[in-house]
Structure 1
Amino acid sequence: MGADGSASSLAAVGTAAQEAALRGAGLRVVHAFLWPAMHVPLGPSGLGPPEGGLRHAAQRVVAEAVERARSVAPEVDVTHAVVTGEPLTVEAQSRAAELVVVGSRGMGGFVGLLLGSTAVHLAPHGQCPVMVVREQPAAGGPVLLGVDGSPAGADAVDFAFAEAGLRGAGLLALHAWTPWHTPVPPPQDPAMPYAGEPGELARTEERLVAEAIAGRRETHPGVEVRTRAVRGGTRETLIEASRTAQLLVVGARGRGGFAGLVLGSVSQALLHHAHCPVAVVRGSAAGR
């Protein structure tokens, strides 16, 4: 978990402690300390108190985060580290982690920005799933899974089912579609190239959701699953549904993504506007 002393970061520490407790795992609190790399004096000023200075400030940030984590989940083994570099260096810590948790905005954020640069960078580049803690989740709400039917989204499906099982929560697999973003089926009548049976497009999208979660009910029998295929914009539909969810899970990129983009436009919009924590799962990250 990345900590920087901000209110958003401390909220994320609490969520990270809860996640560690659910998994029976340890929690590592990491603070990225930029100033040593810039050769700035780290000790206290000769005119100030002995507990002053940048190094002591970094240590206080970590100590406060560790205290918060232990107050939320006393049973969790909490360790900490101060690493030299920009906050983005937390990415290296993700290589040996099951999950990275960060706040939506940190101490370095500009007023008016909805999402900090660290969260923006880690979501598509983390070597494991990345959870960005935004607003407080709805108590008792389901784990909300954004389904797009792409092969890259399969790991997000697995992560969402596992998370629902750990939390003892239900799972809502939600897919939003519009005719403009849905492949057109082969024409049945050459004279009517776009004709189809009434409701066929909606049924096709409902099958997409069923196929996306196929087999997961058997591997997670304790998870109560609901599926929905909604005609509407993906961003708007998922953001609205997140109001009553305790977690929103999406893949880093969907079937509508442009080649070369590491984070799809839908995932970016959700990180900025969702009403609950958002977990972004890259195509090869969920199984770590």
Structure 2
Amino acid sequence: MSSTTTGAVVVGVDGQLPAALALDWAIAEAQRTKAPLHLVNARMLPLRGPTVETGFAVHTAESDEILAAATDRAHTLAPGLHITRAAGYGNAAALLVEESRDASCLVVGARGRSPLGSLLLGSTSLDVAAHSRCPVVVVRDRPHQLPDGPGVVVGSDGSEVSEAAIAAGFEEADRLGVPLTVVHAWFLDSQGTGLAALETEDTRQVVAEEEDAVASEAVVGWSEKYPDVKVRQRVLRTHPVEALVDLSRQAELVVVGSRGRGGFSGLLLGSVSQGVLHHAHCPVMVVRSDGGA
């Protein structure tokens, strides 16, 4: 059973730098939303030694030390914040997902750059993003606070889960006091399909008009609910991952749906959300149409 206070911001902490960045983001989010902060230290089972009980029944000196340091950090950055804690052995992703049941969002860190300079997402972060019962924020780097930047960036494709992502994007932009950039990226990929001859100028024009209409429809009504949020729309003819990752260089947050148009119903994470999670330069929030991630 989850030990999370209803509506809490849950964050995984392990004493490492990626988790420290996630902790700072979670503290700020809890402060913005006036929500409790729930610290979770989920540890993998030891390969050797005595058998221990899995779940949140076991505390160790190391986990207590990690949770105490995270608590001190939270009290320093946000005095008066209500904090709860949990620690246990087991599959780290499974334990974090369990704690997400009653949470407002779940925040985790990600691996940094590999020696080759590529961006890699840890398996725990990816599993949490796929299975969490609430929106997930994966924090790799600190957000860039540029006055003329894109603010919160949200991917839009007209799907139901895209609508949920736009809703979350407006809410986060309003909390942060930054603009919202709604990105609708599309491209025609007929290479190797035998349909390249159909990609004429007329075809491109028709598709472009249809995509413009989808992009415009996606934000209808939201500005009335969030009148203080400045909205920018970008309709780009490029791959969605490329567009979102490029804008993430100067963004506070990128929001994506778990999967969009063309996604198979059995997939928990689509190719776009996975691509953005692996390569974005700022925190990424993943949501699904039922409110989870």
Q: Give TM class, smaller chain.
A: 0.7 to 0.9
Matched, 1:272 2:278: yes
Q: Are the equivalent residues in 2 in contact too, given 1:37–1:84 (CA < 8 A)? A: no
| Aligned mate of 1:180, from 185, 189, 192 | 189
State the partner residue of 2:4.
none
Which of 12, 26, 29 is residue 19 of structure 1 equivalent to?
29
**CA offset digits 1:16-42 (Å, max 9, x no partner):** 000000001110001113448986388
Q: Is the 8 A contact 1:21 1:75 kept in 2?
A: no
**1:154 and 1:266 mapped to 2: Cα distance?**
15
Equivalent in the alignment of 1:237: 243
Match of 1:123 among 113, 121, 129: 129
Aligned equivalent of 1:57, options 35, 41, 62: 62
Paired residues for 1:73-92 under 5 Å? 73-88=78-93, 89-92=95-98
Task: Report matched runs for 1:187-266 at 5 Å.
Answer: 196=202, 199-266=205-272
Q: Distance in 1 between matches of 2:201 and 2:240?
A: 25
**CA distance in structure 2 between the partners assigned to 1:22 and 1:255 by the alignment:** 32
Aligned residue number for residue 51 of structure 1? none
User: Offset of 1:179 from its aligned partner?
Assistant: 2.3
Count of paired positions:
264
Residue 206 of structure 1 contacts residue 228 of structure 1 at CA under 8 Å; is this kept in 2?
no
Deviation string 1:201-256 (CA, Å, 9 cap, x unpaired) is 32321211111122111111111101010011111111111111100000000113
C-alpha distance 198-58 of structure 1, shift in aligned 2 (>3 A): closer
Name the SS of the counterpart of 1:214 in structure 2. coil
Q: 1:98 aligns with which of 93, 101, 104?
A: 104
Asked if the contact 2:42/2:89 (under 8 Å) is kept, the reply is yes
Structure 2 contact 212–235 (Cα < 8 Å) conserved: yes
Once residues 128 and 111 of structure 1 are traced to their aligned partners in structure 2, the CA distance between those partners, rounded to angstroms, is 33
Shift of 1:126: 0.5
Match of 2:287 among 274, 281, 285: 281
Q: Which residue of 2 aligns with 1:161?
A: 170
Q: Quick one: structure 1 residues 38 and 31, their matched pair in 2 at CA, closer, same or farther if it must change by over 3 Å? A: farther
List aligned pairs for 1:143-158, cutoff 5 A. Answer: 143-158=152-167
* Partner residue, 2:3: none
Tell me how far 1:74 sits from its aligned partner.
1.8
Q: Residues of 2 paired with 1:126 and 1:235: CA distance?
A: 22
Compared CA separation, residues 167 and 203, structure 1 to 2 (3 A): same
Change over 3 Å in CA distance of 1:197–1:260 after alignment to 2:
closer
Structure 1 regions of 5+ residues with no counterpart? 43-53, 182-191
Partner in structure 1 of residue 6 of structure 2:
none
Choose which of 53, 65, 72 in structure 2 pairs with 1:67. 72
- Where does structure 2 lack aligned partners over 5 or more consecutive residues? 1-10, 53-58, 191-197
Contact 1:9 1:105 in 2 (8 A): no
Most deviating of 257-266 and 23-32: 257-266
User: 1:7 aligned to 2:39?
Assistant: no
Please, what is the CA RMSD of the aligned residues? 2.7
Q: Secondary structure at the match of 2:12?
A: coil
Deviations 1:258-286 (CA, angstroms, capped at 9, x unpaired): 34211011111111110100000022125
Structure with larger Rg: 1
Report the TM-score when normalising by structure 1.
Answer: 0.84
Corresponding position: 1:114 with 2:120: yes
TM-score (normalizing by structure 2): 0.82
Identical aligned pairs, as a percentage? 40
| TM-aligned CA deviation for residue 105 of structure 1 | 2.8
Q: Contact 2:178–2:229 at 8 Å: present in 1 too?
A: yes
The range that moved more, 82-91 or 267-276, is 82-91
Output the CA distance in 1 between the equivalents of 2:82 and 2:201.
61
